[in-house]
Amino acid sequence: MRGWLVFLLLAAAFIGGCVVLASPGEGPGVLPDSPFYFMKTIGRGITYAFTFDSDAKAALTLDYANEDVRAMHVTCSRAQYVETVELCNEYKTDFFNALVWAVKAAKEGGDTRALVDSIVAAHHDHRLVLASLLQLTEEIPTEAVIDAVAYTAAPLRYVIQEYEGTAAAVSFDAAVRTDFSSIDPGLWATIEARLLPETETDSAEDAAQAGSASGAASTSGPSHEDAPPTETVPPVVGFDSATGRYGMYSLGLVYTTEGVLSGGCYGEYIVLINNGAAQNPTYKELLAFLKADDTDKYVYSYTFPVAGFYYGDAEDSIDVAYLTDIVEGRAFPSDPRICADFAERLHNNAELAGIRAGYVSIDLEGYPDAEGYGIPSDAGHALNVFETSDRGLVFIDCTGGSEGGPKHMDSEVGSLELGATYRPRLLFVSEDWHLLSMGKITAVETTWDGEWRP
């Protein structure tokens, strides 16, 4: 009992520290390469949860977005491009939330003009930083930056159009074009295509030319008093159940020769969340990610696998809204229990961190079942594969152990050749721990992205 009391007191102290760390200031805050970064994330969530007024939430999340951008500037200057991509994802969520809460405050009758002006001014500063990142096209995954631009500028333009009229929206378009005038024309064309529906692009340009010819008086759109807040809000975005896509992310199920793999931490089936901006890591970067990731810390709990049954498509059974919340940090997957869950979760954690990952299913012969779980000798197993830029394919098994075993179960597997013995090697354990042979490999199927309604 005393041990739990000490743990709770320590946890309370850490959470208190998280709140302090999460308070936005003028600097970049705690950066992703810090061991305390997770505390910042938790602290932000706590502060956000206990901020109740819509305008206060808008101001808070705008502060977070500003801090995200300052942090991006620092990580990029240090050539920490994986961390920069991670911050891009944080930024787009925080800015979008600021915009949503500002709209909600306006709908509630608040005077949000100063708040909206702050959001518009902040976005201009953000665009200048994002434009500077897009000039590093050979170093940084540009898709992540482009997505951050589009995900924030498009809903902001929508709000400007609804609240201040077409002329103000056209003026915003011109400001965005100016801020990105220094980047590669091809990148700008990609951004522009995402900012406006195709049917509006030409009309916006015509309106801009007409406004320039007719003078300021004819382009000064309606004021806030002339156009009070309406019931419209920025469009809801998330995974499309038909295509499995959401911005730079895509979903895939694991289709094997035996059908769609069931189970999982993300729904009724194994769901792979793929990041279009994910990159192949170096071996050192992979080890750093694995050491920080907590997937292997869950205890393995064998349950007899039950095949999923469905009518129509397996994809219809997936809750895409829940997956959207996971990507945006508003929800978390279930705890992993069996090897398939561990491999699924590690894949998705890696992709969300900007690291490309694959999912591997194997069949084994002669599995010893040393723990007495009741696993048959011809068992199947699941693990992950990463294509490192300096060592080629690296196979990682992150399946958790039993109570009382090593706390770090991340292991490397040297070969998946048919007939080879499957014996993972622990990566981060200094004690005298080792893993036993799990039998011989009789079949291997590798899935990088999965399929969605093939």
What are the pLDDT digits (tens) for 229-240? 444 444 446 899
Residue 178 reports pLDDT greater than 50: yes
Assess whether pLDDT exceeds 80 at residue 128. Answer: yes
Single residue among 167, 184, 219 that ends a domain in this structure: 219
Q: How many whole angstroms separate alpha carbon 338 and alpha carbon 399?
A: 7
Render pLDDT for 361-386 as a digit per residue (tens, 0 to 9): 999 998 877 667 677 778 889 999 99
256 and 345 belong to one structural domain = yes
Q: Look up the domain containing 124 and give its range.
A: 51-219
Contact 113, 229 (CB under 8 A): no
Give helix 113-134 / helix 54-77 axis angle, nearest 10°. 20
Q: What is the pLDDT of residue 235?
A: 47
Residue 453 lies in a domain: no
- Looking at the fold, whether 203 and 121 belong to one and the same domain comes out as yes
Tokens of 111: 């005077």
Question: Which of 10-14, 274-278, 375-379 has the least mean pLDDT?
Answer: 10-14
Q: Is the pLDDT of residue 357 over 50?
A: yes
What stretches of 180-251 show up as alpha helix (H) in DSSP? 185-195, 198-214, 216-219
In a domain, 404, yes or no: yes
Across the range 127-148, mean pLDDT stands at 81
- Are 214 and 331 part of one and the same domain? no
Q: Give yes or no: residues 344 and 430 share one domain.
A: yes
Mark which of 168, 184, 219 sits at the end of a domain.
219
Report residue 213 as tokens. Answer: 């010819």
In 214-277, the DSSP E strands lie at 245-246, 249-253, 255-256, 259-260, 271-275
CA proximity to 353, closest of 146, 80, 21: 80
Neighbour tally for 427: CB within 10 Å: 18
State the angle between helix axes of 166-179 and 142-164 in degrees (0 to 180), rounded to the nearest 10: 160
In which band, very low, low, confident or very high, does the pLDDT at 3 lie, cut at 50, 70 and 90? Answer: very low
Give me the mean pLDDT over the 82-99 stretch.
84
Q: What is the mean pLDDT of residues 37-44?
A: 77
- Residues of the chain by 3-state class (helix, strand, coil), percent to 5: 45, 15, 40
Backbone angles phi, psi at 176, to 5 degrees: -65, -45
State the pLDDT confidence band at 153, using cuts at 50, 70 and 90: confident
For residue 158, being part of any structural domain is answered with yes
Residue 293 identity (one-letter amino acid): D
Residue with token string 């702050």: 118
Instruction: List, for residues 279-326, the tens digit of each pLDDT value.
Output: 999 999 999 889 888 898 888 886 655 444 444 689 998 999 999 999
Per-residue pLDDT, averaged over 136-149, amounts to: 77
In a domain, 33, yes or no: no
Confidence of residue 13 (pLDDT cuts 50, 70, 90): very low
| Main-chain dihedrals φ then ψ at residue 173, nearest 5 degrees | -55, -45
Determine, yes or no, domain membership for 228: no
Is the same domain home to 314 and 200?
no
Task: Report the domain count for the chain.
Answer: 2
